[in-house]
Structures are given as structure tokens and as C-alpha cells.
Amino acid sequence: MKLKRFFLLLVLGLSVGCGPVLVSHRLADPPPPWFYPNRLEAVRYVYFPDHFIYYDLSLRSYFYLDNGVWISVKVLPSRFRTIDLRRSKSVRIRNYYGDNIDRYHREQQSNRGRSNKNLRRSNQ
């Protein structure tokens, strides 16, 4: 336990002048080449909205929809080979660390496009 704390303090101390740091429970596993954090972040999922692909940083797995079913793979199948994830739009999913990506995706799609602009405020 003391070794983990020492290593974490060492990494954080060195990172002040070295640029971005990714905090992960698996320090031996580097993030994928397309994931380059620009600041200290704690995220589990990265979403590629143009391709409906999620990447789970903790499991090192991709999730994509195939005939209405979420498929989990370590390497994307050949039909995705033409996609350059480094240049694709990505969204880092903050504040969600659950295992059910289907539920999260459905909730986000149902809330998409909603706005509070037309709501009347009771104190006006």
C-alpha cells in the first residue's frame, strides 16, 4: 500500500512539468494510441458518436451495436478498419463508471436535444 502511494505521489510530482497524465488502476497498460488526455482525468468510457462505438478504458474493450445488441471486443472487426479513431470526434464520458453501457446509451439518446430554454421559472 505504501509503495502504491509513493508511486502515485512520484508520478503526480513528475507530471507537473511533464505534461498530461492519465490516472489508471493498471499502470502497466498504456491507453490506446488515439487517447491522449490533455489533463488529469478519471474517465472510464470514451464515445465515438459518428460510429456509435464506446471504448472502456478499464476493460480495454470496444463496444458497438450489431443488430440491436451491444458487442464487446478487444479489437474492432474488419468493417471498422477504415475508421481513424485519432481523427474521429470523441466524447469522454465523465461521471459514469457503471458496467451497463446499453442503459447509459439509451438514457443519453432519450435526453438528446432537450433544453430548458422554454421552461417557465416560478420565481419570475
pLDDT given for residue 69 in this prediction: 92
At residue 24, the pLDDT reads: 47
pLDDT tier, 46 (very low <50, low <70, confident <90, very high otherwise):
very high
pLDDT at 1 over 60: yes
Mean pLDDT, range 14-37, rounded to an integer? 55
| Whether the predicted pLDDT of 50 surpasses 50 | yes
How much is the pLDDT for 39?
57
Quote the longest CA-to-CA distance of the chain.
57
- CA angle 124-112-59, nearest 5°? 130
> In what side-by-side order are the strands of the sheet with 61-66?
69-73, 61-66, 53-56, 45-48, 91-93
